[in-house]
A and B are shown apart, each in its own frame.
Chain A
Amino acid sequence: MAAVSPLSAEMSGAEAKGTQPRGLRAGQRRRLNVFRYLVFTIFGLFFLLPLLAMVRFSLQGKKLGTWSLAAWKQIASYKGPPPLLPAIEITLELAVITSVVMLVLVLPTMIWVRLRVRWFSRVLEFICLLPLTIPAIVLVVGLAPIYNKIERYNVSALMLFWAYVILALPYAYRALAAGLNSLDAITLSEAARSLGARWFTVMFRIIAPNMWQAILNALLLTVALVLGEFTVAYLLTYVNLQVELFSISRNTTNAGVLFSASAATLLFGFALLLILSYAGRRLRRGRP
């Protein structure tokens, strides 16, 4: 027993010491949680209050303090010029085209560079991130002569997708790069090739399927960007949803339409992003 006692004493001491830091950690955790909730609440209010105010304005009746759905009803009945529904349609089409073109262009390029020409990856990153450093107005100045020529052929606003692909490039690149970095793409490709896979199979049946989450993120960012884009379309004199909203605000006598249309756009954007996100989760179900 004599040999056991000091050990027990030491252990008790250690346990006592052990509980003290745990107690401290619990206190720190509580303070951290309070801080988190505080920050979350402040930033939540910062984002939510203007949105709530917008919805409230969109439901403003003729007299101050009254409620009405008139502004929401006018979205559908607004005849323009320019008309609203075609603007929504064109924006959605632009979102789809931009997403597809961006994916077709960037995804295989990134995988190919990662697998075959790694020395080029820094250059590719620089090129893809470059649009972040170029203000939209500068981009428009550069694109204007090209679009002036395109307009001669009386093509639709869908031609904006070229500019939108450039604008979406940095966000899509970052999302896809994160996905690619999370994979051991080299080993996977070598394993596939040793089993008889050609490069096309390696890229589209081995690497890309393991990047679903990254692809989805890139799509979400691209769609969000296209839904909210105003500057390029407006300055190049095309009409998309944001230009239309601006036009409504200037032309309608009911200012509430501007707010209802903006709120509708936001809700529409949220719904679309939620659907994409849900689809991504369904695809990933049962997978790592």
Chain B
Amino acid sequence: MQGLSRHYGPVVALDSLDLTVRPGELIALLGPSGCGKTTTLRLLAGLEDADAGQITVGGKDITRLPASKRDMGMVFQAYSLFPHMTVRQNVAFGLRLRRVGAAERDRRALEMLELVGLSTQADRYPHQISGGQQQRVALARALAIEPQVLLLDEPLSALDAKVRAQLRDQIRRIQLEVGITTLFVTHDQEEALAIADRVGVMRDGRLEQLAPPTDVYSRPATPFVAEFVGLTNRLAGTVSGGTVAVRGRDLPLVDLSTPAGPVTALVRPEAVTLASDSSGESGPLVGTVIATTFLGATSRVTVDLGDTTILAQLSTSDATALPAGSRVALTIRPDPVLVSADAPIADEG
């Protein structure tokens, strides 16, 4: 996609987007509502027309091709199986339009249903199967036509957490098995980080960062990415000489060219460790535990530092030893941190 733009009246949904997806790669587009991720997918599928820009697949310009001729398989957020057709007929529908013979059509449909583990449900109607199964059938239907690109528009958002995690893993397994180029749109960062080869974080119709999940998380390109992907403490700091001083500690900078001066440092909760403090002394990194949120294997502890609060992510066993009201001493791991040029704020975000 080159210079792809789309406006809805005065609203800019997509602002000159450039994105290249490598063959066989799965890219997850992540971003808040209205950032343009679904618009990107719809432009690619031909369901909407771009105001400007070019879409090329395998060297062929498809910008002006109608959706029916684009050869894209798409799975939608809403259940989109045709209610009057059985599961098998749904999967075979695209093949039927391509005039594939009945026997071959049936064989391919069953093969695809086998792939998503639903061959036993072939003769059921959509209303007779669960939401998760419907989305798996929709995936089988999209794959049956052997599309050049698979487009997944928040296909898991209507499902409950457990089914969602299972289906997410299944999508990734199938994508790797089939080796299909895939664009996956989601607003769930965990989903994007878990499934993608590269994650594209979008904001206001622009791509803020496109990088492997680990880079997006640990080396965010912009403050927006840092804050959108994972939790971030916003702490007042001062940049000087390639480091930022945060509450008396010097932390290395991600961007060494950051100009000197007051900034807001974005520190991950897992970079903060806590230890019980019985000295009774006060200091910039001594505070009181005010709340603990149990998350399973880990817990998130909120510490009041007097002028601000800070989040720390600890193993649950460590967090249990620090009940609310405990005095704690904080240590900030010297990971490279990103700073925001916004006016420094007292409260963490």
Given that A287-B125, A288-B125 are contacting pairs, would A194 and B73 also be in contact in the complex, using a CB cutoff of 8 Å?
Answer: yes
Given that A195-B141, A201-B97, A287-B125 are contacting pairs, would A188 and B69 also be in contact in the complex, using a CB cutoff of 8 Å?
Answer: no
Check: A190 CB closer than 8 A to any chain B CB.
yes
Among candidates B76, B93, B125, residue contacting A286 with C-beta atoms closer than 8 Å: B125
- Chain A, residues 269-288, CB within 8 Å of chain B (1/0): the string is 00000000000000000111
Surface stretch bound by A, among B4-12, B77-85, B217-225: B77-85
Check: A210 CB closer than 8 A to any chain B CB.
yes
Q: Which residues of chain A come closer than 8 Å to B84, judged between CB atoms?
A: 209-210, 287-288
Please determine whether B76 and A191 come into contact, CB atoms closer than 8 angstroms: yes
Q: Which residues of chain B come closer than 8 Å to A286, judged between CB atoms?
A: 125
Please determine whether A190 and B98 come into contact, CB atoms closer than 8 angstroms: no
CB distance from B128 to the nearest CB of A (A): 8
- In the assembled complex, the Cα of A192 lies from the Cα of B97 at a distance in Å of 10
- In the assembled complex, the Cα of A206 lies from the Cα of B74 at a distance in Å of 17
- In the assembled complex, the Cα of A167 lies from the Cα of B83 at a distance in Å of 32
Among candidates A192, A193, A195, A210, residue contacting B83 with C-beta atoms closer than 8 Å: A210
Q: How many residues of B contact A (CB 8 A)?
A: 32
How many A-B contacts if CB must be within 8 Å?
Answer: 73
- In the assembled complex, the Cα of A183 lies from the Cα of B71 at a distance in Å of 26
- In the assembled complex, the Cα of A187 lies from the Cα of B45 at a distance in Å of 13
Check: A196 CB closer than 8 A to any chain B CB.
yes
Q: How many residues of A contact B (CB 8 A)?
A: 20
Q: Which residue of B lies closest to A199 (CB)?
A: B68
- Chain A, residues 144-171, CB within 8 Å of chain B (1/0): the string is 0000000000000000000000000000
Please determine whether B82 and A188 come into contact, CB atoms closer than 8 angstroms: yes
Q: Which residues of chain B come closer than 8 Å to A196, judged between CB atoms?
A: 68-69, 71, 94, 97-98, 145
Q: Which residues of chain A come closer than 8 Å to B125, judged between CB atoms?
A: 286-288
Check: B163 CB closer than 8 A to any chain A CB.
no
- In the assembled complex, the Cα of A223 lies from the Cα of B45 at a distance in Å of 43
Check: B202 CB closer than 8 A to any chain A CB.
no
Check: B67 CB closer than 8 A to any chain A CB.
yes
- In the assembled complex, the Cα of A193 lies from the Cα of B80 at a distance in Å of 12
Check: A79 CB closer than 8 A to any chain B CB.
no
Please determine whether A187 and B78 come into contact, CB atoms closer than 8 angstroms: yes
- In the assembled complex, the Cα of A195 lies from the Cα of B95 at a distance in Å of 8
Please determine whether A288 and B97 come into contact, CB atoms closer than 8 angstroms: no
Q: Which residues of chain B come closer than 8 Å to A191, judged between CB atoms?
A: 74, 76, 80-82, 138, 141
- In the assembled complex, the Cα of A288 lies from the Cα of B74 at a distance in Å of 24
CB distance from B58 to the nearest CB of A (A): 17
Q: Which residues of chain A come closer than 8 Å to B68, judged between CB atoms?
A: 193, 196-198
Q: Which residues of chain A come closer than 8 Å to B82, judged between CB atoms?
A: 188, 191-192, 206, 210
Check: B72 CB closer than 8 A to any chain A CB.
yes
CB distance from B30 to the nearest CB of A (A): 22
DSSP majority for the A interface?
A: helix
- In the assembled complex, the Cα of A187 lies from the Cα of B126 at a distance in Å of 15
Q: Which residues of chain A come closer than 8 Å to B94, judged between CB atoms?
A: 195-196
Q: Which residues of chain A come closer than 8 Å to B45, judged between CB atoms?
A: 190, 194
Given that A191-B76, A191-B80 are contacting pairs, would A288 and B126 also be in contact in the complex, using a CB cutoff of 8 Å?
Answer: yes
CB distance from B62 to the nearest CB of A (A): 13
Q: Which residue of A lies closest to B144 (CB)?
A: A195
Q: Which residue of A lies closest to B93 (CB)?
A: A195
Q: Which residues of chain A come closer than 8 Å to B46, judged between CB atoms?
A: 193-194
Q: Which residues of chain B come closer than 8 Å to A198, judged between CB atoms?
A: 68
CB distance from A197 to the nearest CB of B (A): 6
Check: A15 CB closer than 8 A to any chain B CB.
no
- In the assembled complex, the Cα of A34 lies from the Cα of B93 at a distance in Å of 52
- In the assembled complex, the Cα of A192 lies from the Cα of B141 at a distance in Å of 10
> 10 closest pairs, A vs B, by CB?
A195-B94, A191-B80, A288-B127, A194-B74, A193-B67, A196-B97, A209-B84, A187-B78, A187-B80, A288-B83
A-B contact pairs, 14 of them (CB 8 A): A187-B80, A191-B141, A192-B82, A194-B67, A194-B70, A195-B93, A195-B97, A195-B142, A196-B68, A196-B98, A197-B97, A201-B97, A286-B125, A287-B83
Residues on A close to B: CB < 8 A?
183-184, 187-188, 190-198, 201, 206, 209-210, 286-288
Residues on B close to A: CB < 8 A?
45-47, 66-74, 76, 78-84, 93-94, 97-98, 125-127, 138, 141-142, 145, 151
A191-B138, A196-B97, A196-B98 given; 16 more Cβ-contact pairs under 8 Å: A184-B78, A184-B79, A187-B78, A188-B80, A190-B45, A190-B47, A194-B45, A194-B70, A195-B93, A195-B97, A195-B142, A195-B145, A196-B68, A197-B97, A206-B82, A288-B126
